[in-house]
Each structure stands twice: as structure tokens, then as C-alpha cells.
């Protein structure tokens, strides 16, 4: 009896009381809402669709509040100035491609946001503590929120491609993201499985990972210009130079230690360029691999590893290869300058990436 009474009362409430009543207001008769119909075979019946659609603000404005929350890890990292090598590279290639400022701004924003998002993910995957001299974003906002912000940035920039006005831009963007993840996947596998790659495998990874954003920037610029020049070899060289130098500086530069942490690649267990050379130079000695396995934060141990790499000639090998690759890059630039005109910007970037040899006079 009580069950029947309760069912009857519940049916009456669902039949005649608007859902909005329980939220503290009673909607007008023409408002859209649905009532549970216990007698209907469908279970639900909808009110007549009489009300006009409510006027909404533009999507970007309407979500401005939540957007600030979602973007917070991105904006945190964006507020800390970096080297902006990608922005400099875009400006340098624009000496040849001559895009107007509005088109150039789109490419710069797409690349900057993608790069920032990739740093957020890298810092989580590497267990980093510092980025540009400040605590990493996931230490401030949490891992979950930081991952979400990075993924959000990928799709924000995909949405911006429509402003380029060329359907090829979406294909270029997708290929670049695939390459970035392929390169990152290879890098992570070597670290987690403690598998030392060959130098050739490392270079292939760099072409995917570091060179991916360089290529994306250039290709997004080219689809907006009339240029059909093949810049691919030069862009690959620039990506390789940048990454080898970054690996070198991580283990050699005091300034780098202030910004990212002392010899952080060793703490992360990363098979960087000098590490790979050192391991292959003396494969019978497992000391360096054993140190990488520990993910040590002990500076005494890390300094010992650096001294060992010095003994295998690994840092000298980095400097020599950087000099050789830079020479190749300058040769490519000079060949391109014959038909496209001078490009001071790319020469300036190569000067910026220069690693001084022992007893070498500094570049003026």
C-alpha cells in the first residue's frame, strides 16, 4: 500500500511539476524542458518547441572565465620568457618569404602555443623540477590540469588553421603533430627500457621531435606565399644543431643549470647526444648506463659522470660535430641566397647557436 502511494505521488510530481522548480525557479510555459510520462511507452514527452533560441554571446567571450582556468598552466609558462628560437627562425625565413604581419602572427602563435604545450608534457614525462628558472607548471597546477591544458592548446591551434585559408594547412599540422609524437615516443622508449640508441637513430628522432616544429613553421609560411623553394635540408640541419647544442649545454653550462637544474638530463636518465657517444666509445664500461638507471639527483655522482664523458672525448665530439653541421648550414644558406637574396636572420641564429671551442676567441 505504501509503495503504491509513493509511486502515485512520484508520478504526480513528475507529471505536473516543472524540473526547473527544484532549482529555485519556475520556467515559463514556453521554456524547453522535459517531463517524465509514466504512461507513455516512450517514457518521456517533450513540451512543444515554442520558445525562440536564447541569444548567446560569441563562443570565445562566453567561455572567457573557464578558459582562463583551463589555460592557466599554459599562461604560467608563457609568462616566463624563453629563448624564442622558433620566433627568431620564423622572422629569419620571412626575410625570404615576405609574409604580411597578420599572416606571420598566426604562424608565430600556432608554433609558440604548440611548443609551450609540448614543454608542459615534457616536464611531466621527464619528472622535471624547473623550467626557465621557475617551478614546472605541474608542480603548481597539478599533473591532471597541466595535461589537459596542453591537449587544449593543440586543438586551439588546430582551430586557428582556418584563418590561414588553405586546406593544406590542416594536413601539414596533423603530420607535424604525428612526427612530434613519434620522436617523443622513441626518446621515451630508450629512457624507460634503458636502451642506448645509435647516433643515426638519435638523429632520426631529432628530425621528428625537434625538427617537427621547425618544419611546421616553415610549411605554414610557405602555403601562404608563392614560394616553391625546398628548405627541408636546411630546416633539418637547424633542428639537429639546436638539439645537439641543447644536450651539450645541459651538461656543460652553469647558466643552463640555473634555468633547468644541474645536469638534469642525467637525473632524467636521458640518452642525450654526448651520453650516446660516450657509451658507444667504451661499450665494455657500464658505469654511465648504471648512473642513468638510478635517476640520481646527487651532484657528486653527476659530476663523476660528466668527467667520465670528458675522458671518452664526448664533449669534444659534440663541439666538432656542431662546427661541421653549422658549416653545412651556412653553405646551404649561401646557395639559397643566390636566388632569394641575403638572409642576415639565419646567419644570426647560427651565430647564436655557436658553441665556442677551447681557446677560441668569442664571436663579436
62, pLDDT greater than 50: no
% of the chain beyond a pLDDT of 90:
70
**Closest C-alpha to 239, from 42, 61, 85:** 85
pLDDT at 61: 42
Verify that 253 and 118 share a domain, yes or no: no
* Alpha carbon distance 88, 84 (integer Å): 6
- The CATH number given to whatever domain includes residue 281 is 1.10.600.10
Strands 44-46 and 34-36: antiparallel
Express each pLDDT in 210-227 by its tens digit: 999 999 999 999 999 988
Verify that 109 and 165 share a domain, yes or no: yes
* 35 labeled binding residue: no
* 125 labeled binding residue: no
Express each pLDDT in 194-207 by its tens digit: 999 999 999 999 99
- Please say whether the beta carbons of 137 and 266 come within 8 A: no
- Please say whether the beta carbons of 136 and 128 come within 8 A: yes
pLDDT at 83: 81
* 347 labeled binding residue: no
* 243 labeled binding residue: yes
Residue 327 within a domain: yes
**Closest C-alpha to 85, from 320, 337, 345:** 345
Angle at 245 between CA 244 and CA 251, to 5 degrees: 95
Domain end among 228, 261, 281: 228
47, pLDDT greater than 50: no
pLDDT at 46: 42
Cβ neighbors of 161 (< 8 A, separation 6 or more) are: 110, 169, 170, 173
Mean per-residue pLDDT for 220-240?
94
* 57 labeled binding residue: no
* 361 labeled binding residue: no
* 210 labeled binding residue: yes
* 316 labeled binding residue: no
Determine the structural domain holding residue 30 and report its residue range.
Answer: 2-46
* 88 labeled binding residue: no
* 247 labeled binding residue: no
* 126 labeled binding residue: yes
* 157 labeled binding residue: no
Verify that 117 and 174 share a domain, yes or no: yes
Amino acid at each position: 500500500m505504501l509503495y503504491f502511494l509513493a509511486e502515485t505521488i512520484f508520478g504526480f510530481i513528475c507529471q505536473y511539476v516543472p524540473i526547473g522548480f527544484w532549482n529555485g525557479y519556475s520556467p515559463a510555459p514556453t521554456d524547453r524542458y522535459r517531463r517524465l510520462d509514466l504512461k507513455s511507452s516512450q517514457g518521456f514527452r517533450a513540451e512543444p518547441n515554442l520558445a525562440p533560441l536564447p541569444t548567446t554571446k560569441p563562443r570565445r567571450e562566453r567561455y572567457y572565465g573557464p578558459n582562463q582556468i583551463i589555460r592557466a598552466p599554459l599562461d604560467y609558462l608563457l609568462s616566463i620568457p624563453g629563448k624564442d628560437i622558433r620566433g627568431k627562425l620564423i622572422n629569419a625565413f620571412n626575410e625570404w618569404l615576405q609574409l604580411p604581419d597578420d599572416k606571420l602572427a598566426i604562424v608565430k602563435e600556432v608554433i609558440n602555443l604548440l611548443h609551450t604545450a609540448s614543454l608542459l608534457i615534457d616536464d611531466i614525462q621527464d619528472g622535471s623540477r624547473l623550467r626557465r628558472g621557475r617551478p614546472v607548471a605541474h608542480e603548481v597546477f597539478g599533473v591532471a590540469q597541466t595535461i589537459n591544458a596542453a591537449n587544449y592548446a593543440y586543438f586551439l591551434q588546430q582551430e586557428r588553421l582556418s584563418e590561414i585559408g588553405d586546406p593544406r594547412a590542416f594536413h601539414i599540422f596533423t603530420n607535424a603533430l604525428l612526427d612530434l609524437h613519434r620522436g617523443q615516443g622513441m626518446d621515451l622508449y630508450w629512457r624507460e627500457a634503458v636502451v642506448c640508441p645509435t647516433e643515426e637513430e638519435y638523429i632520426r628522432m631529432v628530425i621528428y621531435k625537434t625538427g617537427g616544429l621547425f618544419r611546421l613553421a616553415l610549411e605554414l609560411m610557405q602555403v601562404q606565399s608563392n614560394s616553391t623553394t625546398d628548405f627541408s635540408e636546411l630546416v633539418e640541419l637547424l633542428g639537429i644543431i639546436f638539439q645537439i647544442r641543447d644536450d651539450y649545454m645541459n651538461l656543460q653550462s652553469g647558466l643552463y643549470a640555473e634555468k633547468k637544474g644541474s645536469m638534469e638530463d642525467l637525473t632524467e636518465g636521458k640518452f642525450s647526444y654526448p651520453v650516446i657517444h660516450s657509451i658507444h666509445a667504451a661499450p665494455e664500461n657500464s658505469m654511465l648506463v648504471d648512473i642513468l638507471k638510478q635517476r640520481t639527483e646527487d651532484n657528486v655522482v653527476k659530476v663523476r659522470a660528466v668527467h667520465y664523458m670528458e675522458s671518452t672525448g664526448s664533449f669534444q665530439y659534440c663541439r666538432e660535430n656542431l662546427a661541421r653541421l653549422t658549416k653545412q648550414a651556412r653553405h646551404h644558406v649561401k646557395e639559397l641566397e643566390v636566388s632569394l637574396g641575403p638572409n642576415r636572420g639565419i646567419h644570426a641564429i647560427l651565430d647564436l647557436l655557436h658553441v665556442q671551442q677551447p681557446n677560441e676567441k668569442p664571436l663579436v
